[in-house]
Amino acid sequence: QNTRHYTFNVKMNEFTRLCHKKSIVTVNGKFPGPKIVAREGDRVVITVVNNVQYNVSLHWHGIRQLRSGWADGPAYITQCPIQTGQSFTYNYTITGQRGTLFWHAHISWLRSTLYGPIIILPKRGVPYPFPKPYKEVPIIFGEWWNADTELVIAQALQTGAGPNVSDAYTINGLPGPLYNCSKKDTFKLSVKPGKTYLLRLINAALNDELFFSIANHMLTVVETDAIYVKPFNTKILLITPGQTTNVLLATKPNSPSATFLMAARPYATGLGTFDNSTTAGLLQYQQPNSSLSNNKNLPLLKPSLPALNDTSFAANFASKLRSLANAQFPANVPQTVDRRFFFTVGLGSNPCPKNQTCQGPNGTKFSASINNVSFILPTTAILQSYYFGQSNGIYSTSFPSFPLIKFNYTGTPPNNTVVTNGTKVEVLPFNTSVELVLQGTSILGAESHPFHLHGYNFFVVGQGFGNYDPNKDPSNFNLVDPVERNTIGVPSGGWVAIRFRADNPGVWFMHCHFDVHLSWGLKMAWLVLDGKLPNQKLQPPPSDLPKC
């Protein structure tokens, strides 16, 4: 087993985008942050040193963290944050995964600038199940804010209103030529004709799902969330925050004398405001006769992208994703279920505290909940409290398995959908086979919610629009080759059904990967108990685990 060592020095650095200079939180002064490269089976050891005024915690999004839950990273769930001047070493082994994932800060909104790719290569000598690419290129989408994002969310939570939105989307940290004062900050991918490139796409944006396309080029999807899929061709793809997608790009055989635009812009169905702008980069063919590509007057070919609220594109794209499910890469879909859960997920509001004016819906405060419970982060990490037997006053095990208030979830919501605030977990005995239906609600508008589960991949066995029907819908579940992933968009005005086997003991966060919904409480945690055998137990905590 190889060990890959990294030192992540969290420090401030100045960057200018859209003619706006700003000091941002970075790792090693870089934006986006450095990439982690490892092979399946490797141990990864990352020492994070906090040299900024904020508390920090980093999450290795999509890494299974088998029995190493201490290294998962969400603040107040698996660890207390790393305080200013302190350090913590994350130590984990990559098991049974290969492809693209990413790391990001998991506290407040620091994820807006603290993120970077994780690239997991197959074991040495093991080929990809697709033609070997000529080159591999990470493409990480993000958002640029002229404002300080810590102030943006603090202010939104204080007033109860929706937060300000970003000023640009970015490709590898660069907004691109379609924004004012941004031409020089454009991502350029220079390619040779007749070659195959593997693009490792990552959506690290805070609050928006994105459509992506490259003009006049077909993309072949081969992997999502570090799991291979049955390859399919598409001109456009949809990627939610928290999702990663590997695509093959075959460049045209005879040097076409052009530069093509690649572009990403949001898919959004909610009523709220969002950044409705387009980030773009360039796909430039290297010309043997370079005068051509230097010709500034050549028209750029732009890709066409679906309408902002094109939910049928989203549903159709989701239905194309299938596991490889072959002898080498089987899909171990749980065929039987021990526990069924039904969670309503959506927005809502909380009464305005006395003596305060709130700028949320009808003078209330925005909130969001699962089964009407809006999750409050505790003051010490749940995993520590559990491990040391000190849950009292930290969390309760009373998370409801079904909604307490039943209504027509996708119709007109009732007036009495009272949200309760609490820190409640759902307990699962080791190896429980779980089926979970996530039902979107239309309280304050139907919106898609990209749901992410820590510590696991799950199989997406079904999805549909309207209210989930437990008598009818399961007969259409795909238990043969459903896609296996760690983040799934709960359809706007619909539901999704997932299955997983709770074989990884620990405390595992599950939440909407829109940071604004996360801040409003659209989150919960699973507490998976140890099994009986020694290799079914959570490992003891590292000695440098931060204290609260």
Do 249 and 212 meet the contact criterion of CB atoms below 8 Å apart? no
Instruction: Tell which residue, 101, 85, 2, has the closest CA to residue 48.
Output: 85
Q: Residue 104 Cβ, how far from ligand C2O at the closest point, in Å?
A: 6
Task: Closer to ligand C2O by CB, 365 or 513: give it.
Answer: 513
Q: Please give the Cα distance from 450 to 261 (Å, whole number).
A: 27
Asked whether position 61 contacts ligand C2O by CB under 6 A, the answer is yes
Residues 6+ apart with CB under 8 A from 259: 282, 283, 284, 285, 293, 298, 300, 301
Residue 219 or 227: which CB sits closer to ligand C2O?
227
**Candidates 22-30, 93-101, 360-368, 506-514 — which segment interacts with ligand C2O by CB under 6 A?**
506-514
CB of 229 to ligand C2O, least distance (A): 20
CB atoms within 10 A of CB 61: 29
Encoded tokens for 481: 């080759």
| Site mask for ligand C2O (CB under 6 A), range 197-236, x = bound | ----------------------------------------
Minimum CB distance to ligand C2O smaller for 322 or for 452: 452
Alpha helices in 233-301 (DSSP H): none
Residue type present at position 283? L
Label each residue of 149-210 as H, E or C: HHHHHHHHHHHCCCCCCCCEEEECCECCCCCCCCCCCCCEEEECCCCEEEEEEEECCCCCEE
Q: Which of 452, 485, 499, 501 binds ligand C2O (CB under 6 A)?
A: 452
Distance in Å, CB of 386 to ligand C2O, minimum = 18
For residue 81, give the nearest of 379, 290, 406, 498 by alpha carbon.
379
Report the C-alpha gap between 168 and 142 in whole angstroms.
Answer: 9
Q: Which of 222, 226, 302 is nearest to 261 (CA)?
A: 302
| Stated length of the chain | 548
> Toward ligand C2O, which CB reaches closer, 88 or 514?
514
- Our finding on whether 242 is near ligand C2O (CB under 6 A) is yes
End-to-end Cα separation, the chain, in angstroms? 34
Between 242 and 482, name the residue whose CB sits nearer to ligand C2O.
242
Site membership for ligand C2O, residue 64 (CB under 6 A): no
Q: Which is nearer to ligand C2O, 265 or 454 (CB)?
A: 454
Contact between 106 and ligand C2O by CB under 6 A: the answer reads yes
- Closer of 17 and 452 to ligand C2O (Cβ): 452
Closer residue to ligand C2O in complex, CB, 103/366 = 103
| CA gap 442, 445 in Å, rounded | 5
For residue 496, CA distances in Å to 258, 309, 438 come to 42, 19, 5
Closer to ligand C2O by CB, 449 or 513: give it. 513
Rounded distance, CA 491 to CA 431, Å?
28
Q: Applying CB under 6 A, which of residues 384, 511, 514, 525 lies at the interface with ligand C2O? A: 511
Residue 375 CB, nearest approach to ligand C2O (Å):
12
CB of 73 to ligand C2O, least distance (A): 8
How do strand 279-285 and strand 259-267 relate by DSSP bridges?
A: antiparallel
Q: Shortest distance, CB of residue 266 to ligand C2O, whole angstroms?
A: 18
- Rounded distance between C-alpha atoms, residue 184 and residue 177, angstroms: 7
Which stretch in 313-321, 463-471, 477-485, 509-517 sits in contact with ligand C2O by CB under 6 A? 509-517
Cβ atoms within 10 Å, residue 8: 23
In the list 67, 200, 265, 454, the residue contacting ligand C2O (rule: CB under 6 A) is: 454
Residue nearest to ligand C2O (CB): 61
> Nearest approach, Cβ of 519 to ligand C2O (angstroms)?
12
CB of 362 to ligand C2O, least distance (A): 31
Q: Distance (Å, rounded) from C-alpha 353 to C-alpha 365?
A: 9
Residues 116-175 interacting with ligand C2O (rule: CB under 6 A):
none
CA dist., res. 535 & res. 431, Å (int): 13
How far are the Cα atoms of 270, 385, 543 from residue 5, in angstroms, in the given order?
A: 42, 29, 18
Neighbours of 357 (CB within 10 A): 9
Query: Using the rule CB under 6 A, is 104 a contact of ligand C2O?
Result: yes
Q: How far is the CB of 103 from ligand C2O (least distance, A)?
A: 9
Closest CA to 57 of 130, 109, 99, 124: 109
Q: How far is the CB of 242 from ligand C2O (least distance, A)?
A: 5
Smallest distance, ligand C2O to C-beta of residue 511, A: 6
Distance between CA atoms of residues 147 and 374, nearest Å: 27
The DSSP secondary structure of 350-365, one letter per residue, reads EPPPTT----SGGGSE
DSSP 8-state class, residue 258: -
Work out how close the CB of 508 gets to ligand C2O at its nearest, in angstroms, rounded to a whole number.
9
| Cα Rg, the chain, nearest whole Å | 23
Pick the binder of ligand C2O from 179, 228, 409, 509 (CB under 6 A): 509
The tokens for 527 are: 């507490």
Residue 111 or 322: the one with the smaller Cβ distance to ligand C2O is 111
* Stretch of 164-172, 328-336, 507-515, 527-535 contacting ligand C2O, by CB under 6 A: 507-515
Looking at the Cβ atoms of 153 and 305, the one nearer to ligand C2O is 153
Q: Which of 17, 59, 424, 499 binds ligand C2O (CB under 6 A)?
A: 59
Q: Binding segment for ligand C2O among 2-10, 288-296, 437-445, 508-516 (CB under 6 A)?
A: 508-516
Comparison of 61 and 322: residue with beta carbon closer to ligand C2O:
61
- Give whichever of 228 and 509 is closer to ligand C2O, judged by the CB atom: 509
Q: Smallest distance, Å, CB 399 to ligand C2O?
A: 17
With CB under 6 A as the rule, give the number of residues binding ligand C2O: 11
Binding site for ligand C2O (CB under 6 A): 59, 61, 74, 104, 106, 242, 452, 454, 509, 511, 513
